[in-house]
Chains A and B, each alone.
Chain A
């Protein structure tokens, strides 16, 4: 048991292999569930492509798992603002996702201006900005600006929500 734990440690990439396997299996099962009579006009049918894609994913899942267990590792992407010397900073990522989810939940009811303001302000906060007032002003200006910009410039009415009648 302990041996298993130590072998799995630092191999979170196996999760990715599992994901590939699950997606591959889902694609193939979904393909199997299709029922179409053979037709002269379409000898390939809608099932062939799912089988090819699902097969590719399953093969990749197995090979990736083998590769990871044998010590292989994907090369994390670098970039100008990316510092790979410290581990994933979940204390930034989780609040960021939280701000995103909050917007998904709220946008249809409270409207874009409020939810968009919260999205920007919350994201800036999560990313480490602590100038609350300046952040809030920028957030409101962006949300209001895009609301009117989309309405006047593109003819797209983003939801006004709670502020219906005010805006």
Chain B
């Protein structure tokens, strides 16, 4: 019951008029950036970091929480109306939701996505309240070797599991770790990678790195391939659902939540795998499997719920262990550091007011989001008409302003441009940006734990596996790395199954290729020929 009391205190902090205002600003901004193409919640939080220096940390984080959840709601609106997923977790929504919209059921698709997001977000946040204190209780007993092991697992998992090429993931991780090395070594005061440049002695500001990679790199990349003829959006009225739609939606919402939360909470979870799993499950259980691929409401309800529940799940390791596993959590963690708040298991003891107000504001934000998204969906859809030159010029303008305002020195803008060009090259050559940003944040902390662990053992390397938990975590990490190999061997011994997605996609996300015999082919991002195919089928129907 102690948790409940703390949560109630959190509500009383979060429900002051000023903090409610910040929550409201957060959900509005979050929905807007979710709807707008080319700008996501991670970029929005990164751009806002410099602006929030003057705020109370609690208010700032209440706003960030609103942006985080709001981005999910807005993202699904864009996927349904535009048919181009902004991120991999909304691929499924883009497929099924857009087909519903084309078949004249945009209102129902938006409604099931919004209400499903609300249900999943609320349950997910409740699970967060339940499990996070348990994780904290467990984590405070861990020593440096176990911490190091968990960080190594998170780094490996984010790098090896997400994205299509492991090699490119590790390249990105290496670059991130190198960026994290720049500056004074905390223990000995030695300068590393400073190259005699006094402005580098304090290291690269994490805000500048995040803004460069997310905002400048993205804006330059989109500018290089800007769609000259903007995609046509499907006009939409106020979202609503009929009785039949409710009946078909509520179970997928709950099942999607059940997939989403645990995957989000794992150090490598992310939202991709659970949305795929949810889609495959709904297709299997549905009474109308033939509708899948042509706009089945279950195929929107389940994955959208999974996506939002995973977002809540991600906050569990973020708050309990200081481990970020998606881009927005990584930037929020950087924000903790900016405010001088030490992330990790002691966060709940040191900053109970902040943490519980943040969690309470997730409930509040989720409710606000449902209220502003259901009636206002047509208004949000209008944002898609914003002229692209203004959108991307604006992103560059605010990125510059934010990076400059941190220290008021033009040198930061040089770094911003250099890293922005790196971000551009990474997008061009398929290097995922998430491992880089997580490497920048976790690298220095992993090094600290490594040195602590070996200090305890007097330099003996066996100190690294002196705790049973560390050993267990390393075994899991080894399995994560060896998984494609294991899956390959297992498949060989079980005999060939030609129709699996895994057969032609050896590096596909593990888990999706377990239960995806027939659905596998549909799971890759939308290809236009397939799309035309469906158009024909829709036309054929009377």
On A, residues with C-beta under 8 Å from B are: 13, 16, 19-20, 23-24, 26-27, 30-31, 34, 36, 39-46, 48-50, 52-54, 56-57, 60-61, 63-64, 67, 72-84, 86, 88-90, 92-93, 96-97, 99-101, 103-105, 107-108, 112, 116, 119-120, 123-129, 135, 138, 142, 146, 150, 153-156, 158-159
A83 B187 Cβ-Cβ under 8 A: no
- Asked if A88 contacts B224 (CB within 8 A), the reply is yes
Residues of A contacting B173 in the complex (Cβ-Cβ under 8 angstroms) = 56
CA distance A83 to B226 in the complex (A): 6
Given A27-B193, A116-B400, A129-B387: A96 touches B181 (CB 8 Å cut-off): no
List residues of chain A with CB within 8 A of the CB of B475.
none
- Interface check B134, CB cutoff 8 A: no
Question: Nearest chain-A residue to B163 (Cβ)?
Answer: A75
Residues in A with CB closer than 8 Å to B216 are: 100
A80 to chain B, nearest CB (A): 3
Asked whether, in the complex, the Cβ of A158 is within 8 Å of the Cβ of B225, the reply is no
Residue of A nearest to B84 (CB): A80
Residue of B nearest to A55 (CB): B174
The answer to whether B231 and A80 have CB atoms under 8 Å apart is yes
Contacts of A39 in B (CB 8 A): 188
Bound complex: CA A99 to CA B538 (Å): 47
Q: Which residues of B contact A20 (CB under 8 A)?
A: 171, 174-175
Complex formed: what's the CA distance from A89 to B227 in Å? Answer: 11
Which bracket fits the contact residues of B? 35 or more
Q: Which residue of A lies closest to B387 (CB)?
A: A129
Residues of A within 8 A of B458 (CB): 40, 43
- B:367-419 near A, CB below 8 Å: 387-390, 392-394, 396-397, 400-401, 404-405, 408, 410, 413-414, 417
- Output the nearest chain A residue to B447 by Cβ-Cβ distance: A49
| Interface presence of B164 (CB below 8 A) | yes
Q: Which residues of B are found within 8 Å of A135, using beta-carbon distances?
A: 389
Q: Do A74 and B431 touch (CB < 8 A)? A: yes
User: What are 12 A-to-B residue pairs whose CB atoms are below 8 Å?
Assistant: A27-B181, A42-B188, A57-B171, A57-B174, A60-B167, A61-B171, A77-B427, A80-B231, A81-B226, A89-B226, A104-B414, A127-B392
CB contacts (< 8 Å) of B443 on chain A: these are 49, 53
Residue of B nearest to A99 (CB): B396
User: A119, B396: Cβ atoms under 8 Å?
Assistant: yes
Q: Is the CB of B192 within 8 A of A76?
A: no
A46/B187 in contact, CB under 8 A: yes
A89 engages B390 (CB within 8 Å) = no
**A82 & B227 in contact (Cβ 8 Å cutoff):** yes
Interface centre among A23, A43, A48, A146 (most CB of B within 10 A): A43
CA distance A131 to B224 in the complex (A): 21
B393 A123 Cβ-Cβ under 8 A: yes
Q: Give chain B residues whose Cβ lies under 8 Å from the Cβ of A124.
A: 389-390, 393
Inter-subunit contact B227/A81 (CB<8 Å): yes
- Decide yes or no whether B228 CB sits under 8 A from chain A: yes
Please name the 5 residue pairs, one residue from A and one from B, whose CB atoms are nearest each other, closest first. Answer: A74-B430, A43-B459, A80-B37, A123-B393, A129-B389
A121 to nearest B CB, angstroms? 8
Inter-chain contact A36/B226, CB cutoff 8 Å = no
* Chain B stretch 207-231: residues in CB contact (< 8 A) with chain A: 216, 218-228, 230-231
Of the residues B167, B177, B188, B397, contact of A119 by C-beta under 8 Å: B397
Which residues in B have their C-beta under 8 angstroms from that of A31? 192
B84→A103 contact, CB < 8 A? no
Chain A CB within 10 A, most for which of B164, B187, B188, B224: B224
* In the complex, chain B residues whose CB is within 8 Å of the CB of A46: 185, 187-188, 190, 192
Neighbouring A residues of B287 by C-beta, 8 Å? none
> A77 to chain B: which residues have CB within 8 Å?
221, 427-428, 430
Q: Which residue of A lies closest to B173 (CB)?
A: A56
Contact call A80/B455, Cβ cutoff below 8 A? no
Residues of A within 8 A of B82 (CB): 80
A135 to B193, CA, bound (A): 42
Given the interface contacts A96-B396, A142-B397, A154-B53, does A80 sit within 8 Å of B187 by beta carbon?
no
Q: Are B431 and A82 in contact (CB under 8 A)?
A: no
Does the CB pair A42–B455 fall under 8 Å? yes
Determine how close the nearest CB of chain B comes to the CB of A38; give it in whole angstroms. 9
A75–B503 Cα distance when bound, in Å, is 19
**Among candidates A45, A83, A156, residue contacting B228 with C-beta atoms closer than 8 Å:** A83
Chain B 154-204 residues near chain A, CB threshold 8 A? 164-165, 167-168, 170-171, 173-175, 177-178, 181, 185, 187-188, 190, 192-193, 195
B514 at the A interface (CB under 8 A): no
Contact of A50 among B192, B227, B400, B427 (CB under 8 A): B192
